[in-house]
Structure 1
Amino acid sequence: MRRTDRGHAKSDAVEAIEKVEFAAPPPDALPLPDSLSDLQPDELVRLERSLVRRLDFTLLPVVVLLFLLNIIDRNNIASAKIVGITDTLNLTNNQYNTCLLLFYVGYVITQVPSNLIIGKVRPSIYICGITSAWGVVSMCQGFTKDFASLAVTRTILGLVEAPFLPGVFVLLSCWYKRTELPVRVAILYGGNMIATAFSGLIAAGITSRMEGKAGRPSWEWLFIIEGSMTVAIALLIMPLLPDYPLQSTHRFLTPAHQALAEYRIRKENAGIPDDDSESVLWGLKQALLDPKLYMFTLQQMALITAQSFNNFFPSIVGTLGYGSTTTLLLTAPPYFFAFLVSLGASLHAARVHERGVHIAVPMAFALLGNLLAMLARGTPARYVAMFLMTAGSYAPYNLYMFPDSQKPRYYAGGGVMSGACVVTAVCAVGIKVYLKRENERFEREEMGGEVRHRGIAGSRVGRGGEAVVAFRIPDHVPLRTNVPDSRTYLQGFDDDLIVVHSRRRNKADRGRPPIGHCSSPVAGPAFSPAAKAELATPGGVPARGFPAPFLGPTEDHKTALRSRLLMATRTLSLADIRSHNTKDDCWIVVNSKIWDVTDFLDKHPGGSGIILKYAGADATSAYDEIHAPGIIEESLPPENLKGTVEPSSDAPPPATPAAEAVPAPGKPEHDKPELHRLISAEDFAKVASTHLTAKTWAFYSSAATDLVSHGWNKSLLRRIMLRPRILRDVSDVDMRTSMLGHSTAAPFFISPAAMARLAHPDGELALSRAAGSEGIVQCISNNASFPLASIVKAGVPGQPFFLQLYVNSKREETAKLLRKAQELGIKGVFVTVDAPVPGKREADERIAAEKVSAAISGATATNDKKGGGLGRVMGAYIDKSLNWEDLSWIHEVSGLPVVLKGVQTAEDARMALKYGVKGIMLSNHGGRSLDTAQASIVILMELHKHCPEVFERMEIYLDGGFERGTDILKAIALGATAVGIGRPFLYSLAYGQEGAEHLIQILKDELETTMRLLGILSLDEAEPEMLNTADVDQLVRPATHAFLRKRVRAML
Structure 2
Amino acid sequence: MAFKRIREYVSHPYEHPGERKLVQKLDFFILTFCCMMYFTNYLDRSNLANAYVSGMKEELGFEGNQYNVINTVFTVGYIIGAIPSNLALYHLKPRIFFPTMMIIWGALTMVTAAARHPGDIMAIRFFQGLAESSTFVGTHYILGSWYTARELGKRSGIFTSSGLAGTMFGGFLQTAIHSSLSGAKGLSGWRWLFIIDGLITLPIAIYGLCLFPDTPSTTSAFYLTSSERALAISRVPEVPERRPWNLAFLKRVFSSWYWYGFVMLWIIAGETESFSSNSLLALYMKSTKNYTVSQLNNYPTGVPAVGIISTLFWATLTDFLGGKRYLVGYWIGITGIVTSAMILSPHASVASIFGAYYWAGSVYACQATFFAWANDAMRYEEDSLRAVVIASMNTGSNAVNAWWSLLFYSANFAPKFTKGMWAMIGTCIAMVIWTSGLLYMTSRAEKRRVIEVREEREDDKSFEAAAVDADIKV
Fold conserved between structures, TM > 0.5: yes
CA 1:69/1:388 → structure 2, altered by over 3 Å: closer, same or farther?
same
Question: Do residues 371 (structure 1) and 341 (structure 2) align?
Answer: yes
- CA distance in 1 between counterparts of 2:449 and 2:235 reads 27
C-alpha displacement of 1:173 = 3.4
Counterparts of 1:183 and 1:262, CA distance in 2:
20
Tell me which protein shows more helix as a share of its residues. Answer: 2
> What letter is aligned with 2:123?
V
Of structures 1 and 2, the one scoring higher in RCO (CA 8 A, sep 6+) is 2
Describe the SS at the equivalent of 1:84.
helix
Q: Please state how far the C-alpha of 1:158 moved relative to its aligned partner.
A: 1.0
The code of the aligned residue for 1:330 comes to: Y
The equivalent position to 1:336 in structure 2, one of 287, 305, 309, is 305
Is 1:410 the counterpart of 2:378 in the alignment? no
Match of 1:518 in 2: 458
Matched residue, 1:307: 273
SS at match of 1:45: coil
For 2:64 and 2:116, how far apart are their aligned partners in 1? Answer: 17
1:345 and 1:358 in contact (8 A); partners too: yes
Alignment of 1:33-44 (within 5 A): none
Native 8 Å contact 1:124 1:238 kept in 2: yes
The yes-or-no answer on 1:345 pairing with 2:311 is: no
Is the contact made by 1:137 and 1:157 (CA closer than 8 Å) also made in structure 2? yes
Shift of 1:141: 0.8
Secondary structure class of the residue paired with 1:102: helix
Task: Give CA-to-partner distance per residue, 1:340-397, whole Å, 9 cap, x none.
Answer: 1122112212222322233212331232122222325322221111111111236785
Q: Is the 8 A contact 1:317 1:330 kept in 2?
A: no
Deviation per CA, 1:971-990: give whole Å up to 9, x if none. xxxxxxxxxxxxxxxxxxxx
How far apart in 1 are the matches of 2:71 and 2:36? 23
Q: Partners in 2 of 1:291 and 1:213 — Cα distance?
A: 56
Counterpart among 112, 118, 136 of residue 107 in structure 2 = 136
| Residue pair 1:133, 1:231 contacting (<8 A) in 2 also | no
Cα distance in 1, alignment partners of residues 462 and 99 from structure 2: 46
> Please, what TM-score do these two structures have when normalized by structure 1?
0.37
Instruction: Report the counterpart of residue 356 of structure 1 in structure 2.
Output: 326
1:312 partner amino acid: S
- Paired with 2:171 and 2:468, the residues of 1 have a C-alpha distance of 64
- Residues 229-273 of structure 1, C-alpha deviations (whole Å, 9 max, x = no match): 1123322453232233465653543332223113334xx11xx44
The one-letter code sitting in structure 2 at the alignment partner of 1:415 is W
2:146 alignment partner, SS class = coil
CA 1:236–1:279: 2 relative to 1, 3 Å: closer
Q: Deviation at 1:76?
A: 1.1
User: What is the aligned partner in structure 1 of residue 170 from structure 2?
Assistant: 199
Partner of 1:169: 140
Structure 1 residues 283 and 168: CA distance shift in structure 2, 3 A: same
Quote the RMSD (CA, aligned, Å).
3.2
Cα separation, 2, equivalents of 1:147 and 1:264: 50
How far 1:140 sits from its partner (Å)? 0.7
Residue 50 of structure 2 corresponds to which residue in structure 1?
79
When residues 280 and 246 of structure 1 are mapped into structure 2, their CA distance, relative to the original with a 3 A threshold, is: closer
Partners of 1:171 and 1:244 within 8 A in 2: yes
Cα pair distance change 1:551/1:90, threshold 3 Å:
farther
Map Cα deviations across residues 75-98 of structure 1 (whole Å, 9 max, x no partner): 211111111222222222332222
The structure-2 alpha-carbon separation of the partners of 1:556 and 1:421, relative to structure 1 and needing over 3 Å to count, comes to same
Question: Conserved in 2, the CA contact under 8 Å of 1:312 and 1:402?
Answer: no
CA contact (8 A) 1:364 1:392 kept: no
Superposition pairs of residues 387-466 of structure 1, within 5 angstroms: 387-393=358-364, 397=401, 399-400=405-406, 401-433=408-440, 435-436=442-443, 442=448, 446=451
1:101-140 to 2 correspondences below 5 Å: 101-140=72-111
| Structure 2: gaps (5+ residues) | 1-12, 368-397, 470-474
1:673-701 CA-partner distances (Å, limit 9, x unpaired): xxxxxxxxxxxxxxxxxxxxxxxxxxxxx
User: CA offsets, 1:115-140, max 9 Å, x none?
Assistant: 33323333222211211111001111
How far apart, CA to CA, are the structure 2 residues paired with 1:44 and 1:354? Answer: 23
Which residues in structure 2 correspond to 1:235-384 (within 5 Å)? Answer: 235-245=206-216, 247=218, 249-250=220-221, 252-265=223-236, 268-269=237-238, 272-274=239-241, 280-291=246-257, 293-309=259-275, 310-313=277-280, 314-318=282-286, 321-352=290-321, 353-375=323-345, 377-384=348-355
Aligned pairs, how many? 416
Q: Distance in 2 between matches of 1:221 and 1:191?
A: 23
Matches within 5 A, 1:886-925: none
1:55 matched to 2:26? The reply is yes
Instruction: State the 1:73 CA deviation.
Output: 0.9
Contact 2:182–2:188 (8 Å) recurs in 1: yes
Q: CA shift at 1:404, angstroms? A: 4.0
Using the TM superposition, give the Cα deviation of residue 155 of structure 1 relative to its aligned residue in structure 2, in angstroms: 0.7
CA deviations 1:285-312 (Å, max 9, x no partner) are: 3543455644433332222222123133
CA–CA separation in structure 1 for the residues paired with 2:142 and 2:70 = 31
- Residue 204 of structure 2: aligned partner: 233
How far apart, in 1, do the equivalents of 2:232 and 2:446 lie? 31
Q: TM-score, normalised by structure 2?
A: 0.78
Q: How far did residue 70 of structure 1 move?
A: 0.7
* Distance (Å, rounded) in 2 between the aligned partners of 1:105 and 1:322: 33
Shift of 1:152: 0.9
For residues 114 and 417 of structure 1, do their structure 2 counterparts lie closer, same or farther at Cα, with a shift above 3 Å needed?
same
Give identity over the alignment, percent.
Answer: 22
Per-residue CA deviation, residues 568-593 of structure 1 (Å, 9 max, x unaligned), is: xxxxxxxxxxxxxxxxxxxxxxxxxx
Contact 2:40–2:163 (CA<8 Å) still a contact in 1?
no
Distance 2:26 2:173 in 1: 29
> Which segments of 5 or more consecutive residues in structure 1 lack a partner in the other structure?
1-41, 447-460, 462-488, 492-514, 520-549, 560-1052
CA distance in 1, matches of 2:62, 2:295: 24
Report the CA distance between 1:176 and its aligned residue. Answer: 2.0
Q: State whether residues 329 and 432 of structure 2, in contact with CA within 8 Å, keep that contact through their aligned partners in structure 1.
A: yes
What amino acid is the match of 1:354?
Answer: K
Residue 582 of structure 1 is matched in structure 2 by: none
Rounded to whole Å, the distance in 2 between the matches of 1:552 and 1:53 is: 42
The residue identity in structure 2 corresponding to 1:311 is N
1:68 matched to 2:35 = no
Higher strand share: 1
Structure with greater Cα Rg: 1
- What is the CA-CA distance between 1:329 and the residue it aligns to? 0.9
Question: In structure 2, which of residues 125, 128, 135 is the aligned counterpart of residue 157 of structure 1?
Answer: 128
Structure 1 stretch displaced more, 385-394 or 62-71: 385-394
